[in-house]
Structure 1
Amino acid sequence: MSENTTIHGLTSTEVKTLGEHAVSAKSLAYCPYSNFRVGCAILCADGSYVLGANIENASYPVTICAERTAFGKAVVDGKRESGGFKAVGVSTDISPPASPCGMCRQFIREFCDLKTPIFMWDSKGEYIVMTLEQLLPMSFGPDQLHKPDPNKGN
């Protein structure tokens, strides 16, 4: 891929850096039960990256996926207000690449446009990229909720 090539609006350098951050985030995973490390990196509109890793719990339903960890951190750090998010990268130790789980896809939908690219890296450093819309077709999002108009009393 040449320096001027773009993939879903990202430069080759941005894609490479996103992948490096997603892969490095796996080292932060706390997964003593499954030993299934997942790293996530979010490329923010301001050019910064936010990392997350899966955090397991002895009570399995309490486990937090890497993607939700990263987005929670990004929202708390004010990244949503500073322009939002350009891309999401996820990395695992398996091949072919794993996609975000259904719960994470819905969580990402809360904060990203449906055209946001989701890059998924495998153990060999290869990736697949799909848009959020491709991963979560016919999704339900914040734009589908009725927002009361304070001027109409509803």
Structure 2
Amino acid sequence: MASLDELFSAARAIQQKAYAPYSRFKVGAAIMTPSGQIFAGCNVENAAYPIGTCAEAGAIAAMVAAGESRIAAIVVMGEGESLVTPCGGCRQRIREFASPETPIHVAGPEGIRKSFTLDVLLPFSFGPENLTAR
């Protein structure tokens, strides 16, 4: 099983590959699945701003493409003094594949800055079970 240090290292490494020529704000994300596999993604900007891709979305896409479907933990890596938490859209993307207890670790270059559960970042969320419960 991968460790939090390995997850942090994967997020830090992929952050450097981000394509952020407009904001110059590079973000990396790394997901660990229950099987211990790690999938990473970085933000990819576009001149037409609304169609850029967040780091978390890239990591989730890589996870799904590999045949995995559950997030056990995630690290989101950003620069600056403020915490770089997942945006609202990415919180919902994470929710699709995670439980309310799933840890989301927010990191800077020096290490993990703060840890949350998904339920703290996205309380009273709408998920797949809402569509099956009638």
Q: Which TM-score tier does this pair reach, normalised by the shorter chain?
A: over 0.9
1:48 to 25, 33, 37: 37
Gaps of 5+ in 2: none
C-alpha displacement of 1:96: 3.3
Say if 1:38 and 1:91, in contact at 8 Å, map to a contact too.
yes
- TM-score with structure 2 length normalisation? 0.93
C-alpha displacement of 1:102: 0.4
Alignment partner of 1:144 is 2:130: yes
| Residues in 2 aligned to 1:88 and 1:33: alpha-carbon distance in whole angstroms | 26
Say if 2:56 and 2:86, in contact at 8 Å, map to a contact too.
yes
Partner of 1:19: 8
Partner of 1:74: 63
Q: Deviation per CA, 1:42-91, whole angstroms, max 9, x where unpaired?
A: 011111100000000000000000001110111111011xxx22101100
Structure (1 or 2) with the larger CA radius of gyration: 1
C-alpha displacement of 1:147: 6.6
Partner of 2:110: 124
Say if 1:118 and 1:131, in contact at 8 Å, map to a contact too.
yes
Does 1 or 2 have the higher relative contact order (CA < 8 Å, sep 6+)? 2
Say if 2:28 and 2:78, in contact at 8 Å, map to a contact too.
yes
For residue 85 of structure 1, give the secondary structure of its aligned residue in structure 2: coil
Gaps of 5+ in 1: 1-10, 149-154
Runs of 4+ in 1 over 4 A off after TM superposition: none
| Residues in 1 aligned to 2:33 and 2:132: alpha-carbon distance in whole angstroms | 28
Alignment partner of 1:115 is 2:101: yes
* Total equivalences in the alignment: 134
Partner of 1:94: 80
Percent of aligned positions with the same letter in both sequences?
Answer: 39
For residue 134 of structure 1, give the secondary structure of its aligned residue in structure 2: helix
| Residues in 2 aligned to 1:100 and 1:106: alpha-carbon distance in whole angstroms | 9
The Cα RMSD (Å) is 1.7
- TM-score with structure 1 length normalisation? 0.81
